Homo-oligomer: A and B are copies of this chain.
Amino acid sequence: MSITVVGSIAFDAVSTPSGERERMLGGSAVHFALAASFFDEVSVVGPVGEDFGDQELAVLQRRGILTQDIERIAGGRTFFWKGVYGADLNQRETLETQLNVFERFEPKLSQRSREAEFLFLANIQPDLQRQVRADCRAARFVALDSMNLWIEIARESLIAAISEVDCVILNDAELRQLTEEPNLVRAARRIRGWGPQAVVAKRGEYGAALLTDGGFFALPAFPLEQVTDPTGAGDCFAGGFVGYIAAQAREGAEIDHGLLSEAMAYGTALASFNVEEFGTERVARLTAEEIAERVGALAAITQLRERPVSLRG
């Protein structure tokens, strides 16, 4: 088993109440790959420019991530995003987006990337997602992220892409916008009607919810006293989530509601580490022991102890 991710590889400029970074490694594929690398071999598909150096590649390679499908475009510049977060970190404003090499990106997958059994289609143009999906014929489990932009300008393509995957991972405002259904349970059912067996609603500081035909499961975000930079948290969630599924499927586990629920804990844990520091800083030096410890702590703070109580009818 192995995992392929297609998405952005970026330089991010970020300002948060904790400080700022002018130019740090980022992008959905990078965040996903670092998180998923704790569970399985990951191959990254995406373009970079000539400004993307060995130093950036080394961050991925040190985690054993396969980088041969990172295409360096001659004369190009790497995707650049600049944003600023508000005081409570729930709001962010995009100040600048330079698509650069992403403007004409055509995913080219090596044999190795095409043979992956797990695939994450990070937030890119939905027709590109469909193309990569079609290339990965061996994929047993495909998850997809998207954003409000594609819901607004490429809705039909996005729905077509969604109909070809197993799991949709969106934030809950996007789920509502996409389905035009304010109730989350009904919104998720509508999406499952298009094809996917599972819908994950990302809820920022409130955590995440999973909705499948097998039921509902939810976890709060791991409580942190210091959130430094939320950039990439959703992709780290996806990396922990898909990574865990891949790791357990490798051992013969069935991909059902129970397994996806367990995977939510690993997604939550990876996302919580990611936001502790800027960009990829924290996850890049994370250890397996720290992940296991945080999942245990998450279990402890969500475990509902039941004790008999006498109720007055």
Residues of A within 8 A of B (CB): 17, 37-40, 64, 87-89, 176, 182-186, 203, 205-207, 209, 211, 215-220, 223-227, 244, 247-248, 251, 253, 258, 261-262, 265-266, 287-289, 291-292, 295-296, 298-307, 309-313
Among B176, B247, B307, B312, contact of A39 (Cβ-Cβ < 8 Å):
B312
The 5 closest A-B pairs by CB, nearest first: A218-B220, A288-B311, A88-B182, A206-B206, A288-B313
In the complex, residue of chain B having the shortest beta-carbon distance to the beta carbon of A248: B309
Q: Are B182 and A89 in contact (CB under 8 A)?
A: yes
Given contacts A220-B220, A311-B288, contact A306 B88 (CB under 8 A): no
Which residue, A206, A215, A300, has most C-beta atoms of chain B within 10 A?
Answer: A206
The complex places the Cα of A38 from the Cα of B176 at a distance, in Å, of 36
A183 touches B302 (CB 8 A): no
B262 contacts A183, C-beta separation under 8 Å: no
| CB-based contact A307/B248 at 8 Å | yes
Q: Is the CB of A185 within 8 A of B220?
A: no
Q: Which of B64, B203, B304, B312 contacts A38 (CB 8 A)?
A: B312
* A247-B310, A309-B248 known; A226+B303 contact, CB < 8 A: no
